[in-house]
Amino acid sequence: MEIFKFFYFINLLSAFILTSSLEIDPYSQALLSLKSELIDYDNSLHDWVVASSGSSYACSWSGIKCNKDSIVTSIDLSMKKLGGILSGNQLSVFTNVTDFNISYNFFSGNLPPEIFNLTSLKSLDISRNNFSGQFPKGIPKLKNLVVLDAFSNSFSGQLPAEFSELEYLKILNLAGSYFRGTIPSEYGSFRSLEFLHLAGNSLSGSIPPELGNLKTVTHMEIGYNFYQGIIPPQLGNLSQLRYLDIAGANLSGPIPKEFSNLTSLQSLFLFRNQLTGSIPSDFSNIKPLTNLDLSDNFLSGSIPESFSELKSLRLLSLMYNDMSGTVPDGIAELRSLETLLIWNNHFSGLLPKSLGKNSKLKWVDVSTNKFNGSIPEDICLGGVLVKLIMFSNKFTGSLFSISNCSSLVRLRLEDNSFSGEVPLKFSYLPDITYVDLSWNKFVGGIPLDISQATQLEYFNVSYNNQLGGIIPTLIWSLPKLQNFSASSCGILGILPSFDSCKSISTIDLGRNNLSGTIPKSVSKCQALVTIELPDNNMTGQIPDELASIPILEIVDLSNNKFNGPIPEKFGSSLSLHLLNVSFNNISGSIPNAKTFKLMSNSAFVGNSELCGAPLRPCFERVGIFGSKGTWKLTHILLLSIGLLIILLVLAFGILHFRKGFKSQWKMVSFVGLPQFTANDVLTSFNVVATEHTHIPSPSTVVTKAVLPTGITVLVKKIEWENRSINGVSEFIMRLGNARHKNLIRLLGFCHNQQQVYLLYDYLPNGNLAEKIGMKWDWAAKFRTVVGIARGLCFLHHECYPAIPHGDLKSSNIVFDENMEPQLAEFGFKQVLQLSNGASPTKTMQETEYNEVMTEELSNDVYNFGKMILEILTGGKLTNAAANIHSNSQEVLLREVYNGNEATSVGSMQEIKLVIEVAMLCTKSRSSDRPFMEDVYNLLTNKFANV
């Protein structure tokens, strides 16, 4: 019995000990509760589990730190790919936590006010998430807070004025959200603040002059907002300020002369505003100044001579202003200067003779000015010059000073008057990727050692008419070369073998003195898209191997001495847009394929032995004499009689119908596309040939027609006034010559004095409006978004002058046979305006900052942003463009994630990027929206410098 009692006691004791050991401490319990709310994409919190023994679990978990008493003092869950909405219910237990960091995650929803129960906090970092709504009240409870970082979220509403009550706050980062309204004047009363970052919000109003009271601030970024008015002169009182960025903020007026009092300032960024006047000469007082960027404003005057006193200056960027005068010689004495960007101004005269002698220049861009003289002889003396960009000036002389500039990566000297031989020693330029020497006066040929430039991607020496020489033998072997242009250079010899062809996509050697044949080894150039060899003396047949290149789009062999037939393989090409063999000795028949039916007869004329559409039909050859001579003579006689009858009928018609139908209609086809007659077009959709034909409303006249060549076209009909014909025709010609893979092709137009028919490619795969409501994968959606952006970027930035789309919407995006999106009806709005007699919009070439054109381009950007949201939401959130700038971005984000079945972190990040682009595009103020080129670069992650 005693033994039994002993074992009973032992069991009770064991059970008590085991029960005690399984009790969970409050920290672990709270953290496990927190974990249950989270979405853990990478299982980062896998070790947050209850162990079989021990009473303090939390202190051993990832991201958790404790003091010697096992009290949690730090929670760091940054960069763990966590998501979800925080309730904050678990936070009250962590009263000793001094550091709370959940940055670089995917948290959304409102920030819980319970976070302010962490009363010992010194650092709160919630940056790079997707918290939204208004920032909760109550932050003054964190009396010891030193760091508050909420960068890159989606907060909205007013900036909380109560932040200024935080006595010890040194870092306040509220950038990259959607806070609106003005900066509270209370923000001028921080006692300890050193770092203030409010950039990239939707703030408006004037910048409060009270910010000039922040005597302890060393770093201030408040740009990329929508302010009104001037820069407060009071900011010149910030005696400790070392970094000031108010770029992209819609500010006007002059640069305050009081800024010369910022004697601790190292970096000043005021670019992309509307600042006027000249640069204060007293800036020379800012001795520590290292980075000065005043670009993209309306500044005038010259570069102050006193800048020679800024001995610490590394970056000087004054590009895109209205400045003039010469560059002071003192600029060349700045020993720290690395980057000089003064392009697109009105500077003139010589560059300082000693530029580069006293400093290690890395990037010099003086393009689009009125400079003359030669390149400073010591510009590359520092040995680190990477980019030298001097195009569109009046420079002369040789390139001797840069012949051995081994650090060069990018060299652009086009559109000047440089002369002499090209002295570049490519064997000493190991990193060169881009060389443009076109439109100069070089002689002596292309350097033969160019084949040693293994990083070269782009080379252009076109329009150096006396250059001469031959094409270097190994040019095609360059592993990264994509574009080789040397047209109008007087080059002799033959095309080198393509045996080692690597990556070349564009070859332009037109208007030279080349002879010989196209080597059959051209088939090795599988990346070739364009080959232009017009106006040479080349002979032989067009090789079948050329026709076998899979992505070839443009082939121009015109004005040579090629003979033989056109290779049949061209007829099966899915990519070929233009084959120009005009004025050669080509014979036989043109391949019977849709590709050739879409080309103009101008691409084939001048070949007497060539026949087939779009030229004359091919008949069996018979002699005037011989077994079939009688047949031939009979047909000639019948043809003559028929021609006489036609002439009589035509004369009768002209005599009796003063405004007869056939005397009024004209047809214009574009180069490389079908040469139709007006009658071909009109009869294909049964137009009644009278001057009294009823003309319906232009907006409803869209029809499909099959032309005599067998191709199907889309026809749009509009009215025009007689006085507007010339202006409209000229603009339509611009639209027809705008060719891009993401633009529907305008094939031509047919018109008389009252109406015009526009002929477009007919694409049978429907439009975006029809597709939006259907289920399609994220990859296809993203490809569509990028394709639309690419097409708009071409219209806005590669057409001169720019062409606004004018009516960008989902029904005007159509798909080709490869489901590549193409923009339809681009420029059609302006066609209608011009056809009604409206004055043509001044182009950006004629007036640099034309408000009307800028607004139309900005409207395209806005409509593109709306279209992105329409694609992402399947058309469900029709007002998403407005909602995302209020408090519903997290709803939109969740909706898009779910609707696109985004489960991987990669796709979610990609979707978030696209939504952020949409938010930029749909900013309410047009001046705050990005350019389409920037939008495309964001989507494709291409941030190429000039």
Which residue type is seen at 352? P
Alpha carbon of 255 to those of 71, 239, 291, 324, 927: distances in Å?
53, 17, 16, 18, 20
For residue 561, the Cα-to-chain-centroid distance in whole angstroms is 42
Which candidate, 579, 534, 533, places its Cα nearest to that of 552? 579
CA contacts within 13 A on the Cβ side of 349: 11
List phi, psi (to 5°) of 865.
-60, -45
514 class by beta-carbon count within 10 Å (0-12 exposed, 13-18 middle, 19+ buried): buried
Tell me how far apart the alpha carbons of residues 317 and 295 are, in angstroms, rounded to a whole number: 6
User: Which two three-digit tokens encode residue 773?
Assistant: 């409501």
Within 8 A by CB and 6+ apart from 548, the residues are 523, 569
Q: For the chain, how big is the Rg over CA atoms in Å?
A: 35
Tell me how far apart the alpha carbons of residues 132 and 135 are, in angstroms, rounded to a whole number: 8
Catalytic residue among 296, 508, 807, 860: 807
Alpha carbon of 100 to those of 56, 110, 640, 709: distances in Å?
20, 17, 96, 73
| Helix pair 932-940, 778-797: axis angle to 10 deg | 150
Q: How many CB atoms lie within 10 A of CB 774?
A: 8
Q: How many CB atoms lie within 10 A of CB 683?
A: 14
Q: Cβ(450)–Cβ(477) under 8 Å?
A: no
Which candidate, 434, 545, 449, places its Cα nearest to that of 484? 434
Q: How many CB atoms lie within 10 A of CB 647?
A: 10
Q: How many CB atoms lie within 10 A of CB 192?
A: 13
Bridge-based pairing state of the strands 178-181 and 202-205: parallel
- Give yes or no: 807 in active site: yes
- 389 forms beta bridges with 365, 412
Tell me how far apart the alpha carbons of residues 271 and 290 are, in angstroms, rounded to a whole number: 16
Tell me how far apart the alpha carbons of residues 130 and 650 are, in angstroms, rounded to a whole number: 75
Return the SS3 of 117: helix
Q: Cβ(364)–Cβ(342) under 8 Å?
A: no
Q: Cβ(843)–Cβ(801) under 8 Å?
A: yes
CA dihedral 464→466→471→475, nearest 10 degrees, is: -30
Tell me how far apart the alpha carbons of residues 193 and 480 are, in angstroms, rounded to a whole number: 51
Strands (E), 472-556: 483-485, 506-508, 530-532, 554-556
User: Which two three-digit tokens encode residue 548?
Assistant: 């076998």
For residue 826, the Cα-to-chain-centroid distance in whole angstroms is 18
Q: What is the DSSP letter of 506?
A: E
Tell me how far apart the alpha carbons of residues 900 and 902 are, in angstroms, rounded to a whole number: 5
Which residue type is seen at 194? E
Q: Cβ(931)–Cβ(778) under 8 Å?
A: no
Place of tokens 């000047």: 416
Question: 605-614: long-range contacts (C-beta < 8 A, 24 or more apart)?
Answer: 606/558, 606/582, 607/581, 607/582, 607/583, 609/585, 610/566, 610/581, 610/586, 613/709, 614/590, 614/674, 614/675, 614/709
Return the SS3 of 257: helix
Give me the active site residues, please. 807
